Amino acid sequence: MENIILPLSYLIGSITFIVGLKMLSHPDSARKGNLVAAAGMTLAIFATIFLYHDEQGNTLGNYPWIFGGLVIGTVLGTLAAKKVQMTAMPEMVSLFNGMGGACAMLISVIEYHHNPSADKGMLIVIVLGMIIGTVSFAGSIIAWGKLNGKIKDKAIPGAQIINFILWAALVVLAVMLITGFCATPVVFYGILAVAALYGVLFVMPIGGADMPVVISLLNSFTGVAAAFGGFLYNNPVMLTGGILVGSAGTILTMLMCKAMNRSLKNVLIGSFGNNAASGGSSSKEQGAYKEISLNDTAVLLAYSQKVFIIPGYGLAVAQAQHACHELEKLLEEKGVEVKYGIHPVAGRMPGHMNVLLAEADVPYEKLMEMEDANSEFGTTNVVLILGANDVVNPAAKEDPSSPIYGMPILEVEQAEHIIVNKRSMKPGYAGIENDLFFKPKTSMLFGDAKKVLQDLVGELKAL
C-alpha cells in the first residue's frame, strides 16, 4: 500500500505546483494559489519522511534532525516573512532564493560524498546541480547585499575576461572529474570554489535598473539546480517544481529584458547602472525646474477628469501605498477617473509595484501595463508620479548617449500636467538624471510620499 501512496502523493504535489502557479497569474487568486502549492509541498515532505524506503527497505531515520530542521526553518521563515517591510521584500526574495541554491549545492556535495565513483550520467547531474546551485547562492547573496546597501556596485577591471577564464576553468575541471581523468575530491571542491567565485563576480558589477532582471535570472538558476536534485533522487515533486521555477524564471527574465529593450547578454556584461551617471543626460545643462504647492496640486487633481498615478520605489520606501489608495478613492468620489501605470521593471524586483498596491487592496483592474497606459496618456489631465524615476525618463527616447536609450518607458509627457513627488532632485537608482523634471509640463512636489499623500487627502477634503 505504501508503494502506491508515496507516488500518488508526489503526483498530487506536482499537480498542486502547476495549479498554484496558474493561480499566481492573477492577484485575485494568487493568495489561494500560494496556499495550494504550499499544501502540495507539505504533503510531499511528510510523505517522503514517513513512507520513503530504499531497495533494502530502510526508511529515512534521523527523525530528530529532520524535524528539528523543519521547525527551525519554519519559525525563521515565518518570522522573516511577517516582519519584512515592503521596501525590504526584494532583498528577502533574493536571500531566500540564495538559500534554495545553497540547498541544491549541498545535495550535490552530499551525493558525491556518498558515491564518488558514480557513473558518468550521475556525475554530470551532480556537477551541473552543484555549479548552478553555487552560482545562484553566491550571486543571490551579493544581490541581497547590494539591495540592502551593504555591498556597493563595483566595476572590476577585466571582469569579462576573468569571468570567461572562470567558465573555462569550470568546464575543464568538470570534464576532468566526469571522464575520470582526475576524479578526486580536490577537483570536485575546486569546481565548487570556482563556481562560488564566478557567482560573486557575475553579480558584483551589475546594478541600477538591472537588478530585477538579475533576481529573476538567479531565481531560474535555483529552479534548474533543484530539478537536477529531482533527477538525483528520482523525485517527481523536486523535478516538477524545479522545472516550473526554472522555466518561469527564464521566461520572466526574457520578458523583462524585452521591456528594457536590451539583450540578456547586455544586461550581464553591460554593468548598467554602475557607470550610468557618467554618461548621457546626467552631463548636460538641464535648466530650472518649478515646484507646485499642496493646495495647487489638490485643486488640479480635484478638477481633473482622468488622473494616472505612476508608482515607483519611492512609494515603497515611504510605505505610502495605503495613503495612495485613500487618495484614489477620494478622487473617485469627486468624479475623477483614476488609473495606475505600471512599468515592468519599476521597483527592485519583478512585479514589485503590483505586490505593493495589492497590499493596499487597490483593484487589479486599475493597474494598466505600460503599452495600455501609454495609449491613454494623451487623454489624461494629470499624471502623478510617486517615486518613479528611470521608467519615465524621456532620455530613453531622446538622448542616444544615455545608458537607458531605447528602453520603453511610460510616456507621461503626453498628459496635460505632470506632477512628480520626490524627496529631492537626486537621480534614481540607476544614477541617471531625469530630463522629465525640467520639462515645461512638469511640476515638482517635494517631500516624503506618505506625508505628501496624507496632506493631499486633507486638502481635497477641505475643497
Give the catalytic positions in this structure: 390
Q: Where are the alpha helices (DSSP H) in 365-434?
A: 370-374, 395-398
d(CA 150, CA 144): 8
- What is d(CA 405, CA 261) in angstroms, rounded to the nearest whole number? 9
Residues 431-449 as b/e (b if ≥16 CB within 10 A, e otherwise) read bbbbbbbbbeebbbbeebb
CA distance 430 to 409: 14
- Cα 132 vs. chain centroid, distance in angstroms? 18
Q: What is the dihedral of CA 298, 302, 308, 312, to 10 degrees?
A: 20
Residues 420 and 408 sit within 8 Å (Cβ to Cβ): no
CA distances for 126 relative to 109, 167, 173, angstroms:
8, 17, 13
Strand order, beta sheet including 306-311: 367-369, 337-342, 306-311, 382-386, 417-422, 442-446
| Look-up of cell digits 494616472 | 308
- Residues 6+ positions from 26 with CB-CB distance below 8 Å: 364
DSSP 291: B
Q: Using an 8 Å Cβ cutoff, are 412 and 308 in contact?
A: yes
Dihedral angle sign, alpha carbons of residues 209, 215, 221, 224? negative
Matching residue, cell 528577502: 92
Cell digits for 424? 529631492
Distance (Å, whole) CA 237 – CA 86: 31
Q: Is the dihedral angle over the CA atoms 293, 299, 304, 307 positive or is it negative? A: positive
Residue 329 phi, psi dihedral angles, 5° rounding: -65, -40
